[in-house]
Structures are given as structure tokens and as C-alpha cells.
A and B are shown apart, each in its own frame.
Chain A
Amino acid sequence: MTLFLVGLGLGLAGAMAGATLPARLRVITTAVCGSGACVVTFAAATRVLASNHSVNFHSGAVLPLTGIDLTLDPLGALFIATTAVVGLAAICYSVGYTEHALRSRSAMAMFPLFLTSLLLVPATSSVATFLVAWELMALTSMLLLLVEHRHSEAARDAYQWYATMTHLGAAAILIGLVLLAAHSGGQTFTDIGTHSAALSPALRSIAFLLVLVGFASKAGAVPLHVWLPRAHPEAPSPVSALMSGAMVNLGVYGIIRVGGSLLGGGFLWWWLVVIGLGVISAFYGALHASASSDLKRLLAYSTVDNIGLVLIAVGAAGALSVTGHRALAALAMLAALFHLINHSVFKGCLFLGAGAVERATGTRDLDRLGGLARRLPLTAVLFAIGAFSISALPGFNGFASEWLLLESLLHGFAAHGAATLVALLAGVAALALTGGLTAAAFVKALGIGFLGQPRSDGANSAHEVAPSMLAGMALLAIPCVVIGVAPGLLASPLRRASAVALGAASVTPLRPGLGLDLSGAAGAVQPLLLVIAVLAAMALTAAVVRLVGRRGARRAEAWGCGRELQTARMEYTATSFAEPLGRVFADVLRPDHDIEVTHVAESRYFAQAVRYQTRADDGIERSIYRPVINLVSLWGAFARRAQNGSVHRYLAYGFVALVVVLVALA
């Protein structure tokens, strides 16, 4: 525990350094302190995961009345370790990134503080401590959203959405947790855990639903996701990576911690609700990701998609656990945590890559990119690793966890009860549908963004980014491949964490080994052997072609249907790439099309210019949130009219109110 506290202290020292030191020293000192915090907390977390012993810490000195309570158990340690890895990469990346942005005093103070709060949340073990850490995380991330584009309309808009959603969510969590604490005679998680079984079912359900709303909005589950596709793209890229790679995880963490270990599993319908949220999020996120042409918006929607997949597995684990299928529940929970870790790693890598692209070209609009593989070769390779991982191609980590997710749902069909089976089937269908859509979205991101010819001057004149930025991306790309070929390495920490999550004795769903081998049911995969086999087959084919065929490829102009000159303007763009899918799913996406035709003055039969614009706004935002916002602003307008500052009017209000009261009382 001392180690962990030292790590937190280093993070705070980084924040202090960022706030006080002069500009020259600021960047390097915060980077050293921040990476120290990550390394030390990672060590503390792995020690807990290796020994499987929880450690506690209590101090009355920091918070008045309650003091702070910290506990490092395997579940929290898994999240801390993940955050530490993403945090280290983000800090490393930010050294190069700060040459142009994120170097102001406030930004340099907020960044380590945000990281520290992310590391702190999974270690808190009382309601008060948790809420303080949670609020710290929300406030620092909100401020970081504003530092890079203080004057940009989009950033301010994102900030407002994020601030509103996160505070509504925090209020829901606050009410839910306080409700539990008040009825269980203590505010530490241990008190709640031991007394929760005695609470009335209605109270437990209300508390769970409240915290579910709060945590699901932080995790970005549909329909509470609206802030995410705005905030994650507008934040500076290292912050985006931390938001998508670490902060959304904590939403899932909250659901698991409260629903699983504090409330002891609860009722079947809770988990069916969670599966439902997951199914909608997965499908909706994947669809919007495949339709987006803004690179970071695409990544943000794919976060919604992946969190959906994790929620499906969390829900399945909860449902199977409640219905008494312990081994199957352990498998599903393990799959959920595994996918969450993998998502952190590859999404962190992708967001850092998107930041590098934005830095090099000045835009993140895929329609203006292209040809970057030649100009940013290393960024292209690292981004490609992330893209292949998220598309679940064998040999990359996304495949390992998607395989485990599918296996856990498949074996879940052995359970009984129509509701569970229907939910599992919906989960499988969502997983199957999102797989193809995600592949399409990332072929678009990679193929349109990095291959072909540049579609703008910015893309044409791009240069490779700073080495520290590349190192940050590599820190996350390497685990993608290592976990991808040897997923078995993570089996034991995952098993320990999922045992805590389900509040049950440790069931071993996986046999030890480099690959994944289910012990309770039939199913295994050895990614390492598969990768070797594919590479061998490729080499063999190449050898045969070299032996039989002629060598030395000639360069020739690409086929342009007989046209001599081909320009980048003739290429397919991200918008045109996504058009068929957008048309297929037009009912969900409901894209807006604007076509403006300017005719030549002489004749209306000849068009001088055609302008076509298409946009797929968030349908849920439009149909659910807009009416509420309109109602609120209507109320605001009314309030403004009613209060025009005239003293006479206020006196009249007072008089009318008095008369009404008197009449009512009479």
C-alpha cells in the first residue's frame, strides 16, 4: 500500500510542478513525476494481483468527518494496472505533443491530477472517498477539455454536454450510494457489502438503478453516451486516450463493484437491463463509427461500441451468477474484463495515432487525408496495429478477447430460463453484427487515411511526428501484439479480478498456457500457432511465386477507365466509402443530405457547380435530448421574461402570492 501511496504522491507532485515551475522545466518535470506515478502504481497493482491479497489503508487526516479509506484488491488493481499502462503511454506521448499545445500552466497541472484521480478511483473503498475521487476525475477532465481549444465553438459545446451529463451522472451515483450507506449503518464498502443482503429488495433495486444510470453515462452506454462523441474528439489527444482508454473503464468498474460485490449480485432483471444497454450501445456505436468521417469521432463511437460489448458480457456474468451457473459466470466476467483491458490498450494507441495524424496534417477529417503511409510510416504501422486489434484479426489482442466473449455467450446457452436465453441471443447477434461493421469502419480509417493519394495540402506536406509521440504509441501497440499472440499470460490476474467481481470463490475458467483453453467447457485457441501457420503459408506462397514467376515489378499508371490523368480528387473518400452502409442502415442513422446545384447563367440544363453535403447526426440526441433541451430553454426564456428586474413587478408578484396564499388558507 505504501508503494501505491508513493505513486499517488508522485502524481500530485507532478501536478504541483506543472502549476509552479517555469515553462522550460514544467514539461520534463511533470513527465518524470507522471511516469513515475504510473510505474509505481503499476508495480503496486501487480503485486496485489500476483499475491491475491488485498491491502487496506485508512487515514483520518485528509477528509474531515469520514477520513479516507483505500483498499487495493485484485479487481481494483486490474483497473489501476490498465490505467497505469495507458497513462504512461499518454505521458510519454505528451512530451512531444506539448511542443505546440497542452503546455500552459493550468494544463500541465490538470493532466497529472487527472491521471492521479484515474488511478485513485478503483482503490477507494468508502462512499465519501469514492465520491471525492470521482468528482476530482470529472472536474480535471472537464478542464482539460477546454485547454487546447479555448476559443473553439465545438470544444465549448462538448464541454457543456460533458459537464451536464457527468454532473447528472454523479448526482445519481451520489444518491444511490448515500441511500445504501444510510441503510447499512456505515459508509465503507465493507459495511455496505455485509449489510446489503438484509436491505429490502426495492431499496436495493432503486440504488442499483441510480448508480447504473451514473456509471453507464460515464462508460458511454447508449442512450447516455451523447457527451462521449463530442468530448473525446475535442480533448487534446493524450487526454482523449486517457478518457477512452481509462476513464470509460471506471464506469464499467462502478457497475461491477456496486452490482457484483457490494449488492451481492441482486436480481436477474438488473443484469438483463445491463445486457440490453450493452446490445444497444454495441450496435449503435458500431453503426455510427462506420458512418463517421472524422477520425476521432469514429474512434469515440467505436468506444461506445466496445463498451457495449463489455456490458453484454458483464450482464451475462451477472445473470448467470444469479441463476446459479458459477463457472459460466466466471468465464463471462473474465471475458468482460479481458476485453476492457484490450480495449484500453488498442483504443489508447488509436487515439494517440489520431492525434499524431492531426498534428502532422492539421486535420482529422478523413476526407482530407490520404497517402500518410508514405509520409508517416511509423505512425501508420502503429495505427494499423491498433486498427487490426480492434477489428479482431487473429494474432492481435482484440481477437483473443472477442473470441472469449463469443465463447462465454455460446456456453451461456447451457443455462435455463427464457429471459436469459433471449438476452444471450441478442448479445451474440450484437457481437456478430458489430464485428463486420467495425472491420468496415477501420478499413475506412486505415485505407482512406493512410493509403492512396493525399486529398489536401496538409496531408501532402505531412512529416513524421516527434520520437516521444511514436514511443507513446509503441508502448500501447506492443501489448496489442504480445497479448494477441499469448493471451494466456493474463489468465491468472483476470481470474483473480473476476472472482472478486462476482464475490465468489475462485473458479478457474481457463487452463494455464500461452493460448486460451477453457477448462469448464470445450473450446481452445492458440493464437501463436495460428500466427506462425499464417506467416509460414504466406512465405511458402511467396517462395513459389518467386520460383515460378518473373521478378522485379514494373511501375505503371493505375487504370482510370482510359483517362490519362488521375488526380486525388477522383479517389473514393471516407464519405463515399461509408455511403453504402449508411444507405443500408438509413433507418437508424437518418443522414441529412444537402444538394446545391448552381446552374450556368445561359441555361438551366447545365450545372456549373454541384455541392453535396451529408451528415449523420446522433439520432438519439436529436430525438431524446433535443426536446428536453428545448423545454429547458423554453422555461429559461419564460423565467427571463418574468424577471425583468423591475421592482414594481416583483412587488406585484409578492402581492399576488400573498393573496393566493390567503385565499387558499381561507
Chain B
Amino acid sequence: MTATMTTTGLGASIVMSVVQLVMIVLGGPIVLGVMAKVRARAEGRIGAPVHQPLRDLRKLLTKEPIHAEHSSAVLAIAPFVLVGTAAVAIAVSPLVTTAPVLAHSADLFVVVFLLLMGSVALALAGLDAGTAFGGMGSSRAMTIGALAEPALLVAILALSVQAGTSNLPKIVAATLAHPSWAAGPERLLAFVAFLIVVLAETGRIPVDNPSTHLELTMVHEAMVLEYAGPELAIVTLGEAMRLGFLLSLAASLFLPWGIATSTNPLNLLIAVVALSAKVVVIAVGVALLEVRTAKLRLFRVPELLTGGFVLAVLSVVTGLVTR
């Protein structure tokens, strides 16, 4: 496996990273559409077509840009930081291939801190216009983020301890080499913790309701309330990319089969199809979960996230005890 990784040329790596990027940039919004569709069907509605989020993005991009009166450059730059950091995280992570560009630096901690950078940028933007809503959203988002980040870090750390490295492509390669790991107790615990974090980081029910605009319950929506037009499109795209990325990362880390370990175009095609299938399955599962649960009160969310953190720590402990 290592041999394959090192012999892959730079050109091939770039091509595969671009494939990953295109997949997530287009696929992220479609995943949102699929989740909305599943929700609609489960509630007895027909629902919008699955590519509706992409249409919304196109519509928003052509609208007039508007900035709030007292805002500074932070408001204008933050969306690009969000998308830029998400794009780099996507490009270097092993989603379609185990040999993406910069695979050497594709580190678990790098990915977590890149996502943190996007969150910090957006939280600062929420405070920039000096409104009550923006501050409320930023405060809540940072609270949830402060509790979700440790769970995410420790959940992936559990896999790193098992594989002896924090390099994501190497973790995936090690899992492929030891298929029995995937069913181990530490993997299951880490997977549940990871899913809880994904729900929190991407603002899904039961942590946040992406379709609400009620003051008392908004978290993410309050933070980005001042965005309009193209910048709103970029923020929405960034959020969709993060959702797509986290779901794909879950698929790659916990069920890596199908991922391309060579530059063979056929393998690549299989990998794209396999990743799409895995992500759609997880997304449908999350959507069904959303239909069946109510949103938690804001101050019950920490209990959920603490649960995730504890599961992640237990996963590391299990890994250490059973090795």
C-alpha cells in the first residue's frame, strides 16, 4: 500500500484531488437536496428535486451583493476562508483515492484545525455587523463548536492510535490492510461519536435546525443572517462542502472499501461510485434520524456532545486495552 502511495506522481495526485473537489462541490449541495427529499417523503410531501440546492446557489450568485452598514472587511472575506479551508481539507483527504495531493501533510489534526479556521472566520463575521442576531449566532456556534471539536479530535485519534499514525491516507491504507479492524468495538464507538459531531458541526437536527428562522432557536442561520446574494451563496456552498466532506471522511475512515489505491481510471470510477453510494446511505440515515427526533433545547446540546466525547474517549481506551 505504501509503495502505491509513494509511486503516484504529482500530476496524478492533482488530478485525483480535483476529482474529489468537484465531487464534493457538486455533491455537497446534492446531499443536502437528498436529505431534504427524504424528509419530505417521510413527512408525506413530494419535496423539491434533489438538485434544488444547486439551483438556489446559481440564483443567489446572480443577485446584488449587499453589505451591512457597520460591517468591515471581515464580513466580506469570511465566506472565502470558509470555502478555501474546506476545499483544502477536501483536496488533501483520502476520499476517492489514498494518494491525494499533499498526502504527506494530510493529517488528522490539520483537517480538524482547517475546519476550525472556517468556523472561526464565520463566527467573527457574525459579530462584524454588530447586531444582536449575529452575536447570538456566533456565541452559540462557538459554544457548540468548542464542545464538538474535542469529540471529533478524540474520535479520529482513536483510529490514529490503532494505526500508529495521524496521517489520514495511512489510516485508510491500514484499515484496508486489516479488514477486521472495521468491526472492532473501538471503531463502532468512534463512529457513533463521529456522527454526533457531524450533526453538530453541520448544524443538523437535533443540534440546530437548518430551516428555522425563529430567533430563539437559530444558531447557524443567525450567524449568517447578514449575508445576501453571492456571499450567501458562498457561505451556503461552504457549509454544504463541509457536510459532504465530513460524511465522505466518515465513509473513508470507517468503511474504506472501494477507495482507489492506484491511478487506474477504472479504479477511480469505482471509487467515485462507491463513495457516492456510501455518502448517500449515511445521508439518508441522518435524514431519517432528523425526521424522527425533535430539536434539542440549546442547553441540552452539550449533554449530547459530552456523550460523543465520552464515547470517543472510551473508544481510545478500548483500543489501548485490547491491543
Contacts and interface: CB of A to CB of B under 8 A. Distances in A.
Nearest to B298: A580
B130 A391 contact: no
Interface bin, chain A: 35 or more
Given A370-B130, A436-B147, A526-B105, A393 B70 contact: no
Contact of B145 (A440, A529, A538, A561): A440
B64 interface: yes
A642 interface: no
A38 B318 CA distance: 51
B48 interface: no
A521 B161 CA distance: 12
B139 to A, nearest CB: 4
A524 B107 contact: yes
Contacts of A273: none
A526 B104 contact: yes
Nearest to A583: B299
Interface in B115-151: 116-117, 119-120, 123-124, 126-136, 138-140, 142-143, 145-151
A276 B115 CA distance: 30
Contacts of B65: 549-554
Interface in A45-84: none
A393 B119 CA distance: 11
B307 interface: no
Contacts of A448: 127, 135
B18 to A, nearest CB: 12
Contacts of A431: 153
A541 B161 contact: no
Interface residues of B, number: 85
Contacts of A542: 80
Contacts of A433: 150
Interface stretch (A25-33, A136-144, A407-415): A407-415
Interface in B59-80: 61-72, 74, 76, 80
A394 B114 contact: yes
A209 to B, nearest CB: 29
Nearest to B237: A541
Given A549-B229, A571-B131, A577-B139, A432 B107 contact: no
Given A524-B104, A552-B65, A452 B70 contact: yes
B161 A410 contact: yes
B150 A580 contact: no
A554 B66 contact: yes
Contacts, number: 272
A394 B119 CA distance: 13
A425 B316 contact: yes
A58 B114 CA distance: 51
A153 to B, nearest CB: 32
The interface residues of chain A, by DSSP majority, are classed as: helix
A435 B143 contact: no
Given A410-B166, A561-B215, A394 B117 contact: yes
Interface in B73-113: 74, 76, 80-81, 83-85, 87-88, 91-92, 102, 104-105, 107, 109-110, 113
A436 B234 contact: no
B170 interface: yes
Contacts of B113: 392-394, 399, 402-403
Contacts of B76: 553
Contact of A436 (B114, B126, B145, B165): B145
B127 A561 contact: no
B195 to A, nearest CB: 18
B250 to A, nearest CB: 18
Contacts of A541: 80, 83-84, 87, 234
Contacts of B230: 545, 548-550
Q: Which 3 A-B pairs have the closest CB atoms?
A: A572-B135, A452-B130, A436-B146
Interface of B: 61-72, 74, 76, 80-81, 83-85, 87-88, 91-92, 102, 104-105, 107, 109-110, 113-114, 116-117, 119-120, 123-124, 126-136, 138-140, 142-143, 145-151, 153-154, 157, 160-161, 164-167, 170, 215, 225-226, 229-230, 233-234, 298-299, 302, 309, 313, 316-317, 320
23 contacts: A370-B130, A373-B74, A394-B110, A403-B113, A414-B164, A421-B320, A429-B309, A432-B149, A439-B120, A440-B142, A443-B120, A443-B138, A524-B105, A526-B105, A533-B88, A533-B91, A541-B80, A553-B76, A556-B66, A558-B134, A561-B215, A581-B142, A584-B143
